[in-house]
Amino acid sequence: MISDSTGETLMTVVRAVTAQFENIHPIEHVYPLIRQERQLDRVISEIEAAPGIVLYTLVEPEFAQHLERACQRIGTPCVNVMQPVHNVFSSFLNVDMAPRVGGQHALDDEYFERMEALNYTMLHDDGQITEDLELADVVLVGVSRTSKTPTCIYLANRGIKAANIPLVPEIKPPRQLMKLKKPLVVGLTASAERIRDIRQNRVLSTIPSTDSDSYIDRKLISQEILRARKLCKEQGWPLIDVTRRSIEETAAEIMAYLRAHKADHRHTPQ
């Protein structure tokens, strides 16, 4: 994987494709920020030493041609993963492409919005601050170990201000949570078995305490889950079961809920 930017696009494409093949274990060689000819020559030398499928996103035409010729000489496949999409856009829009290295990582308003969202999310993790929850786009609630924090961070990287509030036995949810008007509140839940397994691993990696037994007790976990479900139902909050979902899938559903939530608010008289 050869890129003149961070290589994130390539890695996403490659991992999506390799996931469709069973019983293979790909060895990844990632070369980001290739912007000079000597850098590209070094990469080509390494391809010669260990040939494999070459995928690249190089904006500079001379670099792309140099790499294509080298791979043809070596006898290894070489694919510009962006070229088919670029061709479709150019044809449909009837305009030429204006290449920009790392164009998707420009320091524009969207970038700074993502940084602001990430700062907000880190400050509002695990119910640390509740006074300004109204500034959030999304507030996630759920019992311990339902992937609230990683989901919030994923959302923040997409410019969504996300806070999360743990639902703890014998402790009432913060009153600010119950009064929210603008943010979308979403509950996350999972099976008792999954939560118990994750909590057991957590306990094993830390110093056990007197509360450890109740923390991993399946019956008590089931009661926690039922109380959380009841709260979400009473408040009309959507509930997502993350038992068999990846963080990305959970976040995608939350973002769909958020689009609908914003649309409803736009059409609601003030």
Q: Which residues are annotated as a binding site for ADP?
A: 142-149
DSSP helix/strand/coil, 103: helix
Sign of CA dihedral 189, 190, 193, 195: negative
Tokens encoding 101: 């290295």
Binding site: residue ranges?
A: 142-149
CB of 7 within 8 A of CB of 30?
A: yes
- Per-position DSSP letters for 19-76, written without gaps between them: TTSTT--PPP--B----SHHHHHHHHHHHHHS---EEEE--SHHHHHHHHHHHHHHT-
Q: Compute the distance between CA of residue 109 and CA of residue 114 in angstroms, rounded to an integer.
A: 9
